[in-house]
Amino acid sequence: IMKLASRVSMIKPSPTLVITAKAGALRAEGRDIIDFGAGEPDFNTPDHIKMAAIHAVESNFTRYTPVGGIDELKDAIIGKLKRDNYLSYRRSEIIVSCGAKHTLFNLSQALFDEGDEVIIPSPYWVSYPDIVLLTGARPVIVETREENGFKMTPAELEAAITKNSKAVIINSPSNPTGCVYSKEELAALAEVVLHHQLIVVSDDIYEKIIYDDFPFWNITAVNPSLKDLTVVVNGISKAYAMTGWRIGYAAAPEFLIAAMAKIQSQSTSNPSSISQKAAVEALTGDQQIIAGMVAEFQKRRDYVVSTLESFDGISCLEPQGAFYVFPNVESLYGLRCGNKKILDSTTLAEYLLDEAEVAVVPGIAFGNDRHIRISYATSMALIEKGLERIRMALKRLS
């Protein structure tokens, strides 16, 4: 009988994908499930981007490309980082991979060893701890406080640092909380990072999904002396509704990019040539399309936050970015409906799936068991219907 490698048991399957799969299975049985679990925009990829891909196919741009991406795309990324983030990089400091998740995987493989500690503020995106664990390094989880908008303070960061600390991951706007760090907050964190010479992994994937004109800042743009210590991670999945195209990228010091390219050369090789051409169009073409999507997300956010706030037992911070809310549901714990008792975020999510036919992700998946995550990357009609179902299901609890 085949015996699996021990690393398989070090990690778990992505819980958000598990919920989506479970909702899909129930739907296949004929149940009318509303999915608030999804982590992707419900919009279609804009037409001009699709046309660029069609053109790539028709002109036979269908062969291997350089491992780390074509120069045309690297130049588009360099232009974007300059235009949007006041950051200046050279081609040798850019790598394109098969999604930002792949970028994070490669940089972790290139940087982290057994014995290293990687600081991850909680609530965190589900994949960070597992990507770190696969390198043999130890994720060090820093609890942030809801009163601070789930943002890690310099003191909280300082307290987590040991002689083994190698890096800290910053994700702003955040999945799952939607919190966005201000320029001043990043400046204060940068002081701690510089003092301890930590590497900063800045996951900027939700940069464009931001509300009320809240300004987005990357920590290296705030404090340029961090440049040699920073890996900027970004991609096209969320901003351009291109999750399936699998393009992400990093900007970092040349030796790290070279190491990531070496790892990529022995695993995936280049990301899809066709997707790369589409990504060039996404980054250099009409940027107004993003504003249209964000305006729609903002309408939904406003509706979801105010509706949830009106429910007994739920309180909900207003997020400044991404397309999730992360309501506090702790005061529902201990309530029951018949033989179903709500004990934690997992039993609440199960109750909502069974009783309300609504899929949400338990907060424990993101390191916080007092909350659930609701994605509003779905139509207003489904949001209204789903929230009403949740309201009815909660009324049955006592």
Smallest distance, Å, CB 162 to ligand PLP? 25
Write out the binding residues for ligand PLP, residues 106-125 only, by CB under 6 A: 125
Helix (H) or strand (E) segment spanning residue 168: strand 165-171
The count of other CB atoms within 10 Å of the CB of residue 389 is 17
- Strand 358-359 to strand 138-143: parallel, antiparallel, or no bridges (unpaired)? unpaired
Among the residue ranges 54-62, 157-165, 235-243, 330-338, the one whose residues contact ligand PLP (CB under 6 A): 235-243
Quote the DSSP letter at residue 210: B
According to the binding rule CB under 6 A, does residue 237 interact with ligand PLP?
A: yes
Give every CB contact of residue 83 below 8 A, 6+ residues apart in sequence: none
Of 175 and 320, which CB lies nearer to ligand PLP in the complex structure? 175
Beta bridge partners of 118: 139, 167
- Strand 340-341 to strand 199-203: parallel, antiparallel, or no bridges (unpaired)? unpaired
According to the binding rule CB under 6 A, does residue 319 interact with ligand PLP?
A: no
Question: How many residues interact with ligand PLP (rule CB under 6 A)?
Answer: 13
Per-residue binding letters, 124-143, with ligand PLP (x by CB under 6 A)? -x------------------
Six-digit token string for 322: 């991404």
According to the binding rule CB under 6 A, does residue 99 interact with ligand PLP?
A: yes
Distance CA 147, CA 276 (A): 42
Phi first, then psi, for residue 358 (nearest 5°) are: -125, 130
Nearest Cα to 248, choosing from 205, 284, 206?
A: 205
Burial class (CB in 10 A: 0-12, 13-18, 19+), 185: buried
By beta-carbon distance, which residue lies closest to ligand PLP? 99
- Residue type, position 283, single letter: L
According to the binding rule CB under 6 A, does residue 173 interact with ligand PLP?
A: no
Per-residue binding letters, 28-67, with ligand PLP (x by CB under 6 A)? -----------x----------------------------
Among the residue ranges 94-102, 274-282, 329-337, 345-353, the one whose residues contact ligand PLP (CB under 6 A): 94-102
According to the binding rule CB under 6 A, does residue 175 interact with ligand PLP?
A: yes
According to the binding rule CB under 6 A, does residue 205 interact with ligand PLP?
A: yes
Sole binder of ligand PLP in the list 37, 69, 248, 363 (CB under 6 A): 248
- Interface contacts to ligand PLP, rule CB under 6 A: 39, 99-101, 125, 171, 175, 203, 205, 235, 237, 243, 248
